[in-house]
Amino acid sequence: MKVFVAGGTGFVGGHLVRALLSGGHSVCTLVHRRSASSGEVEQVEGDITRPGSFEQGLDGCDAVVNLVGIIREFPARGITFEKLHVQATANLLAAAAGNGIRRYLQMSALGSRPDAVSAYHRTKWRAEELVRRSGLEWTIFRPSMIFGPKDGFINMLAAQLRLAPVMPVIGSGSYRLQPIHADDVARCFVLALSLPESIGRAYELCGRDRVSYEELLDMIAAAMGRSRPFKPHLPLGLMRLLIPFMQKIPQFPITMDQLQMLLEESIGGDEWQKTFGFEPRGLQDGMSEYLHKT
């Protein structure tokens, strides 16, 4: 099967492209600029927000995967949830339909819903609605926090820990996460291509371990071969006042949307395992593979 992947050059995209190739599929990725080191991967140069720039690149493909998404907006640079979640999905669905492609897989997010507090989750849900109404043979995946060698969140926390054994915690730190490895997410996407029962379904993808934010910090330290960090607690009310101003600084590590998602928790069930038939990787072992040398 020839698979067109939008977002194939990102963190999860790298895992998915490797998994597709290992599964015997051919891959075509959407890129802003072609590179000479593409290897077995065909490249289509274009912009997901400009349909005319990439539509012809879907010719001859059998399936489309949409991994495009952002966790933080930069409106001054034109980087918004509306553009990269909703508009991008509409453009890709139209391109798939225009090229006669029926199979379509969409990356959403755990917690997406119409009445969410965070704009991130609301726009992810609106993108899902477009997929459901498309008339294509769709599957939607809603992963929890995704971890792996090039992830943003775990590596950011590890980088802070390298500077000093002090890790500030907003509020109680008891809010829970259920991270899933990028390899497991990629494996689900690949398996879905050959599983007709996954058509017309949305799956919450969660890992094996449910941990509190405080427990996660201790696990990161252990994966790095370090002792538990000192975890001073920052008052939640104070941070809710400060973050709206501080998030305007691109280097500030958290936005109000991200805080809201942390507080809401990112946990789910294991229903997806009944369809895809495998056990997800453990969090501690998975992190140790890429943090143990740091």
Q: Please give the pLDDT value at position 293.
A: 60
Would you say residue 116 lies in a domain? yes
Would you say residue 26 lies in a domain? yes
Structural domain count, the chain: 1
Work out the average pLDDT over 92-115. Answer: 97
Would you say residue 127 lies in a domain? yes
Q: C-alpha 84: how far from its chain's center?
A: 13
Would you say residue 288 lies in a domain? no
pTM score, two decimals? 0.95
Would you say residue 39 lies in a domain? yes
Structure confidence by residue, pLDDT tens digits, 220-267: 999 999 999 999 999 999 999 999 999 989 888 899 999 999 999 999
Tally the C-alpha atoms within 13 A of residue 174's C-alpha that lie toward its C-beta. Answer: 1
pLDDT tier for residue 294 given thresholds of 50, 70 and 90: low
Q: Does 139 have pLDDT greater than 70?
A: yes
Residue span of the structural domain in which 130 resides: 2-150+179-207+268-280
**205 contacts 143 by C-beta, under 8 angstroms:** yes
Would you say residue 261 lies in a domain? no
Distance, in Å, from the CA atom of 168 to the CA atom of 166, rounded to the nearest integer, reads 6
Work out the average pLDDT over 138-147. Answer: 98
Q: 89: how many CB neighbours lie within 10 A of its CB?
A: 28
Phi, psi values for residue 180, rounded to 5°:
-125, 140
The overall average pLDDT reported for the chain is 95
Determine the angle formed by the axes of helices 213-223 and 153-163, rounding to 10 degrees: 70
Task: State which H helix or E strand residue 189 sits in.
Answer: helix 182-192
Q: Which residues contact 215 (CB under 8 A, 6 or more apart)?
A: none
Q: Please give the pLDDT value at position 250.
A: 86
Would you say residue 236 lies in a domain? no
Q: C-alpha 81: how far from its chain's center?
A: 14
CA distances from 64 to 19, 42, 55, 152, 158 (A): 15, 14, 12, 25, 34
Q: Does 33 have pLDDT greater than 90?
A: no
Question: 């509020």: which residue's tokens?
Answer: 171
Specify the CATH number for the domain of residue 76.
3.40.50.720
Amino acid identity of 160?
Q
Q: Does 39 have pLDDT greater than 90?
A: no
Would you say residue 165 lies in a domain? no
Q: Does 37 have pLDDT greater than 80?
A: no
